[in-house]
């Protein structure tokens, strides 16, 4: 089912900072600050936010308050409230909390799968299947969508190269297991833009429109180049983290996520709509500066604006 897809005139920027950013922050952000941050992001125009993760609190204490954060986010009209859950146990909590969307990570790298969720690749696919069964069993108003997050799709700092054939096969397995959509994650920031184009084409040939978005990291400075390449191939959803917070505690050497405000700035430059007010988005960085003292805030768009104001 090969599909050719044109670059989109509107994209969805999905904020993952409250999950992917905070799980790698040095400090723990107070629940109240998380809620203020999420509100500020939504007021800047973000339409989808991954607000937390239903994992073992002893493993990721930064996200132990996810149920409370979800409850707050659900009060914001029009916002898609997403969470991460690695297995059925987490998904049960996510559905009970009322999350609109659950992302289940499935790593293409055996080494990363074991380090990140303590499962083999095959076990992760079965976990995804069990989450989809919970989705199907949920009452209509409480039924979340399920995204398979295909991690280390472009390489892995633990395993090294990840064969593209493995990624394509795994994407098909994830759709077969019931995922509504599959996103390609450059978990450790190993992707280059030619590879992004090639892999997007190959995965789309395998699973068509179920391929939804990309999740990029800026480890080697290529997040925006990779996002541009993905957009040229018709990808319409891009994960980002305000100020580029993030990384992966179980993938040494990985650095922050694609910077949300830089993604927005690039797409606006390209004439692509995001529905986001860049000034308000940049202003929301102040909440991070205050609630995560000592954390490095990345981002060219913010630096450029600050420089212009000083000039």
Residues found near its own copies in the complex (CB under 8 A): 157, 189, 192-195, 218-222, 224-225, 227-229, 252-253, 255, 259, 262, 265-266, 269-271, 299-301, 303-304, 307-308, 311
Listing DSSP states for the chain in one string gives -----PPPSB-EEEE-IIIIIGGG-SS---HHHHHHHHHHHHHTT--EEEEEE-S-TTT-GGGTTHHHHHHHHTTSTT-EEEEE-SSHHHHHHHHHHT-SEEEEEEESSHHHHHHHHSS-HHHHHHHHHHHHHHHHHS-GGG--EEEEEEETTT-BTTTB---HHHHHHHHHHHHHTT-SEEEEE-TTS---HHHHHHHHHHHHHHHGGGEEEEE-B-TTS-HHHHHHHHHHTT--EEEEBGGG----TTSTT--PBPBHHHHHHHHHHTT-B-S--HHHHHHTHHHHHHHSTTPPP--HHHHHHHHHHH-
Nearer to its own copies, 42 or 278 (CB): 278
User: Which CB, 177 or 266, lies closer to its own copies?
Assistant: 266
93 or 220: CB nearest its own copies: 220
156 is catalytic: no
| Residue 157 beta carbon to its own copies: minimum distance, rounded to whole angstroms | 8
In whole angstroms, the minimum distance from the beta carbon of 265 to its own copies comes to: 6
CB-wise, 208 or 252, nearer to its own copies?
252
User: C-beta of 218: minimal distance to its own copies in Å?
Assistant: 7
Cβ of residue 166: shortest distance to its own copies, in angstroms?
A: 19
Pick the catalytic residue: 131, 171, 216, 248? Answer: 248
Catalytic residues: 248
């Amino acid at each position: 089912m090969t599909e050719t897809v044109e670059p989109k005139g509107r994209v969805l920027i999905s904020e993952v900072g409250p999950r992917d950013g905070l799980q790698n922050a040095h400090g723990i952000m107070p629940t109240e600050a998380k809620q203020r941050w999420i509100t500020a992001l939504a007021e800047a125009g973000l339409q989808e936010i991954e607000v937390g993760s239903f994992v073992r609190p002893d493993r990721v204490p930064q996200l132990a308050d996810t149920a409370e954060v979800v409850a707050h986010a659900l009060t914001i009209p029009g916002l898609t409230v997403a969470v991460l859950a690695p297995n059925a146990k987490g998904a049960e909590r996510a559905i009970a909390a009322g999350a609109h969307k659950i992302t289940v990570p499935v790593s293409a790298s055996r080494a990363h799968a074991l380090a990140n969720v303590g499962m083999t690749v095959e076990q992760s696919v079965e976990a995804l299947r069990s989450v989809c069964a919970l989705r199907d069993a949920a009452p209509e108003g409480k039924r979340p969508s399920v995204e398979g997050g295909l991690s280390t799709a472009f390489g892995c700092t633990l395993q090294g190269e990840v064969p593209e054939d493995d990624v394509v096969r795994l994407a098909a397995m994830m759709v077969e297991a019931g995922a509504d959509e599959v996103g390609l994650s450059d978990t450790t920031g190993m992707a280059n833009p030619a590879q992004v184009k090639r892999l997007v084409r190959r995965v789309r040939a395998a699973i068509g429109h179920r391929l939804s978005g990309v999740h990029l990291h800026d480890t080697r400075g290529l997040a925006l180049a990779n996002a541009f390449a993905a957009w040229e191939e018709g990808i319409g959803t891009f994960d980002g983290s305000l100020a580029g917070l993030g990384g992966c505690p179980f993938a040494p050497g990985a650095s922050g996520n694609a910077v949300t405000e830089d993604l927005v700035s690039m797409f606006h430059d390209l004439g692509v709509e995001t529905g986001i007010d860049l000034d308000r988005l940049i202003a929301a960085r102040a909440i991070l500066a205050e609630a995560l003292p000592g954390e490095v805030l990345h981002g060219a768009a913010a630096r450029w604006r600050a420089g212009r104001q000083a000039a």
